[in-house]
Amino acid sequence: MNSPPERSPVPVERDGLVVQCRMGFSDIDLMRRGLRAVRDSGLPTVGTITLDSFTRTNQHARARSALAEGRTLNGYPIVAHGARRTRELLADVAGPGFGIQMRHGSARPFEIFEVMLDAGITVTEGGPVSYCLPYSRVPLDVATEEWERSCALLGAYQGHVETFGGCLLGQLCPPDLLVAISVLEALFFQHNGIRDVSLSYAQQVHFGQDLEALLALRELASSYLAADVGWHVVVYTYMGVYPASRRGALGLLAESARLAAAAGCERVIVKTVAEATRIPTIEENVAALRHAHDAALAQRDRPPAPAGTGIEERARALIDTVLGLADTVGGALVRAFRGGVLDVPYCLHPDNANVARSGIDERGRLIWADPGAMPISHLVPRARAQRVTSAELLRMLAHVRRRFDTDAPATAEGV
């Protein structure tokens, strides 16, 4: 491997909102054109190489076969292409002012990290929980052990990791749990040698509630992370069922950018008008970056802090309880899910209790219908303690699409 760099390219500018897409292509020439288009957009941005499904699940032989047969994959197969070809790709596009982040989705990323680092990429994302529960059937303790090894390796290269814990399943996960797991994954990275992190939060169903959650996330990061750990906050445009209309897709994207700006966040990960139907083109990705950038600039005045609904208090209760379960953060996370102390609603992974249930109330906010065994029962109003039917679940999953495709609001609701 190459020698560790003196400093990894952290994907953020401290004086403004960075806009970033999820672009990933299996063809190297297309990947090169995409990165160049993003770099040359004139926007404050970061280059992204998003990996394919075979690579995410460690099926590298299948990725190599697909490349040999000329088949298109849904992302960049970094292990199949190898470090040398990836270094050549980066030599054509990366440089001062334009860092590259690799986004992968793997519960067992060690081999991916080896090739990534050998290629010169030291910025990535994920986490032992957030890249295990939603995306795999890998046992949580196995994923956690591999993420510990992977972070130790990345830490030697002074790398940066972005938590994916604020995006669990993308939808119907109340903000207090998203915030808690994002902080816990950041603490996991810190415990395993990473000194520069970003904490994520995915836009949910209500602007005011999301704003409260982001302010809570920033406060908790300040409280729990060590003073020598650099950090910033990233907002993801809605990760659930996306609006099908162009007007609705652009409205939702703009709201996520305004949310990030209103909360003082440093970076926003965008989606495109094609999100509901297919992989977006290079041009659609760049257009989404520009739309988000313009929407964030329009949010010049921060709205007043929303009335508190207890998000920070419940997130802190979850974090403190989990940290008390074991001497290591990784061990604590495994025990927390084993005992239902952390429980992701509607998540079918074998290591998730799947007892907790959430819902959308009459104000359009995500709430707990039943917190299960999580240590927040005394902090959760019981007004909606009822069984969530399959029909109601489907209705809730389509809530955001329906609202934006029907109304496509020009301004944020519920501030």
DSSP assignments along 129-145, one per residue:
TTTTTTT--S-HHHHHH
* Per-residue tokens: 191: 């415990």
Can you give the C-alpha Rg of the chain in angstroms? 20
pLDDT per residue rounded down to tens, the chain (415 residues): 444 444 444 555 555 799 999 999 999 999 999 999 999 999 999 999 999 999 999 999 999 999 999 999 999 999 999 999 999 999 989 888 899 999 999 999 999 999 999 999 999 999 999 999 988 999 999 999 999 999 999 999 999 999 999 998 878 899 999 999 999 999 999 999 999 999 999 999 999 999 999 999 999 999 999 999 999 999 999 898 899 899 999 999 999 999 999 999 999 999 998 888 888 999 999 999 999 999 999 886 777 777 788 999 999 999 999 999 999 999 999 999 999 999 999 999 999 999 999 988 888 899 999 999 999 999 987 655 466 778 888 888 878 888 888 865 444 443 3
Closest CA to 212 of 324, 305, 314: 305
Please enumerate in sequence order all residues whose Cβ is within 8 A of that of 123, keeping only pairs 6 or more positions apart, or say none.
Answer: 8, 9, 10, 11, 99, 100, 101, 102, 159, 160, 162
All structural domains of the chain, each given as residue ranges with its CATH number in brackets, are 1-415 (3.20.20.240)
Please enumerate in sequence order all residues whose Cβ is within 8 A of that of 184, keeping only pairs 6 or more positions apart, or say none.
Answer: 129, 165, 319, 322, 323, 329, 332, 333
Claim: this prediction has a pTM higher than 0.85:
yes
Environment class of 196 (CB within 10 Å of its CB; exposed 0-12, middle 13-18, buried 19+): buried
Instruction: Return the pLDDT at 15.
Output: 54
- Whether the Cβ atoms of residue 178 and residue 166 lie closer than 8 Å to each other: yes
Q: Which CB contacts under 8 angstroms, 24+ apart, belong to 121-124?
A: 121/49, 121/86, 121/90, 122/5, 122/8, 122/9, 122/154, 122/157, 122/158, 122/159, 122/160, 123/8, 123/9, 123/10, 123/11, 123/99, 123/159, 123/160, 123/162, 124/154, 124/159, 124/160, 124/161, 124/162
Instruction: Return the pLDDT at 381.
Output: 77
- Whether the Cβ atoms of residue 296 and residue 257 lie closer than 8 Å to each other: yes
Distances (CA, A) of 397 to 171, 203, 336, 381, 400: 7, 14, 27, 22, 7
CA angle 387, 242, 124 (to 5 degrees): 100
Amino acid at 71: R
* Per-residue tokens: 268: 């926003």
Instruction: Return the pLDDT at 47.
Output: 96
Please enumerate in sequence order all residues whose Cβ is within 8 A of that of 382, keeping only pairs 6 or more positions apart, or say none.
Answer: none
